[in-house]
Amino acid sequence: MKTYERLLLENKAWAKGKVDGDPEYFHRLSQLQTPEFLWIGCSDSRVPANEITNTQPGEIFVHRNVANMVVHTDVNLLSVLDFAVSHLKVKHVIVCGHYGCGGIKAAMTNHDYKQVLNMWLRNIKDVYRLHRTELDACPDEESKFDRLVELNVKEQVMHLVKTSIIQRAWKNEQRPDIHGWVYGLKDGIINPVFEMKAGTHIDPLYEYDDL
């Protein structure tokens, strides 16, 4: 059996298991999705949103990219954000990074990853530059790496709040709260590192006053 054929076989077994436990399961899910959460996570195969939070299909709307970035020119991310916030009306947005993130590690080097990856990783280098004093004071490379993972999550939360999508929802509907979390590959535990409740004020430079 080819490796990908195993996935199709497992899918059949999974679907059968779901229907055996609840004959209406797929019918109900096919009618409507009302997730309470938007998850912006890393593409890393070891950090699957549903599995590590023990949630089911229908509970979390998911966007993943390398190093869980919120880049203002990323139409993909912004479309997901707008749909989740303005239409699905999620109550919480979670940016979840993870210790040991390869994207963060790569951004800490001076290696040329060629154009597209260089472009993406430059956004992480900008986070480093913003927090250079704190990061350069870390006692060793490992703690610096861990701290950059945490600070990157914090900055991506801030990037979300700079969008009119979030600011409009905060003004009109007092949601969503935005959470910055970091998952530990070594212990499976999520560490909440930063939070911005709906309505929190940020640098006025970024606040729209005519939403």
Would residue 96 show up in a list of annotated catalytic residues for this protein?
no
* Of 42, 80, 90, 107, the one binding Co ion by CB under 5 A: 42
Binding of Co ion by 40 (CB under 5 A)? no
Binding of Co ion by 69 (CB under 5 A)? no
Binding of Co ion by 44 (CB under 5 A)? yes
Would residue 6 show up in a list of annotated catalytic residues for this protein?
no
Would residue 138 show up in a list of annotated catalytic residues for this protein?
no
Binding of Co ion by 149 (CB under 5 A)? no
Binding of Co ion by 150 (CB under 5 A)? no
- Range in contact with Co ion (rule: CB under 5 A) among 97-105, 118-126, 143-151, 184-192: 97-105
Element (H, E) at 94: strand 92-98
Residues 103-132 that bind Co ion (CB under 5 A): 103
* Of 101, 121, 161, 166, the one binding Co ion by CB under 5 A: 101
Residue 191 near residue 182, CB atoms below 8 Å: yes
Rank residues 90 and 182 by Cβ distance to Co ion and give the closer one: 182
Distances 65 to 28, 33, 74 between C-alpha atoms, Å: 29, 22, 11
Measured between alpha carbons, how far is 183 from 118 in angstroms, rounded to an integer? 25
Rank residues 107 and 166 by Cβ distance to Co ion and give the closer one: 107
- Range in contact with Co ion (rule: CB under 5 A) among 17-25, 36-44, 78-86, 146-154: 36-44
149-188 CB burial, b ≥16 within 10 A, e <16:
bbbbbbbbbbbbbbbebbbebbeeeebbbbbbbbbeeeee
Residue 54 near residue 91, CB atoms below 8 Å: no
Kindly state the tokens that stand for 79: 């479309």
Residue 130 near residue 69, CB atoms below 8 Å: no
Residues involved in catalysis: 42, 44, 46, 98, 101
Instruction: Note the residues at the interface with Co ion (CB under 5 A).
Output: 42, 44, 101, 103
